[in-house]
């Protein structure tokens, strides 16, 4: 992504590409964080969640927390993380996605993310922790897919910055490499793809059980059935609520 352009004029496709050889400039990241930082210092303590997720997160996303997002072999962790961030971006919050080299603009938009409020750094390289720390200075949400091996000291440094800046960190832990306990654990389980209709070969929507647990889960595990995604690509409660 080119940081020297006015943010509002950056085309969507350029938000999802960066050179694998270019080292990210910390100064450019800091300038970007300064640009998107809310003008008001009196920010709400929580960010909104999508209506279909209110049974899991009735009070939304608490600032200063790390939320781990995992899935079984059927997948769905990236879609779930985007859905968690979607309502906040629709409400005006900025979101950064770090380490998601396979993220597509259409998938993010269908999951509810406002693309004009999303910045992607697909390949942060060896300096991923510094990149995330800089982004936490100004972004309300940061989605992180950490590398295969994460040193505990780096993870603790990121979490300390998170607590200080009162942002929300969504950790897509594909390789179970995140060594720090998260405040909430969101897990996608028993996902199965469903065809459009009887006898159809095209699989368009996926049903899954999504659960929330952890030390900030208000004392109990909660689970619901979701279309992740539904046939239109969006998130929806299977019960229709």
Bigger pLDDT: 16 vs 205: 205
Say if 168 falls within a structural domain. Answer: yes
* Cβ–Cβ under 8 Å, residues 105 and 15: yes
Say if 74 falls within a structural domain. Answer: yes
In this structure, what token pair is assigned to residue 105? 């603009």
* Cβ–Cβ under 8 Å, residues 86 and 203: no
What one-character DSSP code corresponds to residue 241?
A: -
**DSSP track, 70-107:** EE-TT--HHHHHHHHHHHHHHTT--EEEES-TT--HHH
- The domain spanning residue 135 has which CATH number? 3.40.50.300
Query: What pLDDT is attached to residue 229?
Result: 80
Which is it for the CA torsion 194, 200, 201, 205, positive or negative?
A: negative
For residue 153, what are the domain limits? 10-36+46-186
Average pLDDT over residues 59-83: 94
Number of domains comprising the chain = 1
Longest dimension (CA), the chain: 56
Average pLDDT of the residues of the chain: 83
State the DSSP H helix or E strand holding residue 237, giving kind and residue range, or none if neither: strand 236-237
Strands (E), 42-196: 46-47, 61-62, 65-71, 95-98, 118-121, 141-144, 168-172, 184-195
Task: Give the Cβ contact number of residue 60 at 10 Å.
Answer: 20
Say if 164 falls within a structural domain. Answer: yes
Name the nearest CA neighbour of 56 among 80, 78, 77: 80
* Cβ–Cβ under 8 Å, residues 84 and 183: no
What pTM value is reported for the model? 0.82
State the DSSP H helix or E strand holding residue 212, giving kind and residue range, or none if neither: strand 203-213
Say if 208 falls within a structural domain. Answer: no
Query: What pLDDT is attached to residue 208?
Result: 94
Say if 215 falls within a structural domain. Answer: no
Query: What pLDDT is attached to residue 194?
Result: 78
State the DSSP H helix or E strand holding residue 208, giving kind and residue range, or none if neither: strand 203-213
Highest mean pLDDT out of 62-71, 72-81, 190-199, 230-239 = 62-71
Say if 66 falls within a structural domain. Answer: yes
Say if 95 falls within a structural domain. Answer: yes
Say if 220 falls within a structural domain. Answer: no
Among the ranges given (43-47, 95-99, 173-177), the one the predictor scored with the smallest mean pLDDT: 43-47
What one-character DSSP code corresponds to residue 7?
A: G
* Cβ–Cβ under 8 Å, residues 89 and 192: no
């Amino acid at each position: 992504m080119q940081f020297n352009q006015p943010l509002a004029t950056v085309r969507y496709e350029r938000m999802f590409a960066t050179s694998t050889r270019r080292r990210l400039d910390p100064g450019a990241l800091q300038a970007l964080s300064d640009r998107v930082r809310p003008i008001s210092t009196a920010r709400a303590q929580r960010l909104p969640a999508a209506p279909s997720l209110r049974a899991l997160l009735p009070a939304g996303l608490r600032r200063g927390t790390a939320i781990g997002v995992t899935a079984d072999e059927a997948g769905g962790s990236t879609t779930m993380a985007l859905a968690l961030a979607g309502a906040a971006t629709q409400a005006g919050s900025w979101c950064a996605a770090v380490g998601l080299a396979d993220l597509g603009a259409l998938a993010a938009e269908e999951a509810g993310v406002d693309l004009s409020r999303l910045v992607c750094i697909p390949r942060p390289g060896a300096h991923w922790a510094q990149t995330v720390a800089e982004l936490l200075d100004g972004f309300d949400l940061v989605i992180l897919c950490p590398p295969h091996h994460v040193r505990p000291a780096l993870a603790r440094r990121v979490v300390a910055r998170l607590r200080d800046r009162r942002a929300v960190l969504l950790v897509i832990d594909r390789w179970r490499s995140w060594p720090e306990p998260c405040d909430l654990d969101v897990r996608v389980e028993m996902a199965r793809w469903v065809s459009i209709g009887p006898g159809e070969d095209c699989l368009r929507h996926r049903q899954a059980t999504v659960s929330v647990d952890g030390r900030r889960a208000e004392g109990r595990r909660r689970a619901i059935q979701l279309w992740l995604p539904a046939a239109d690509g969006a998130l929806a409660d299977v019960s229709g609520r």
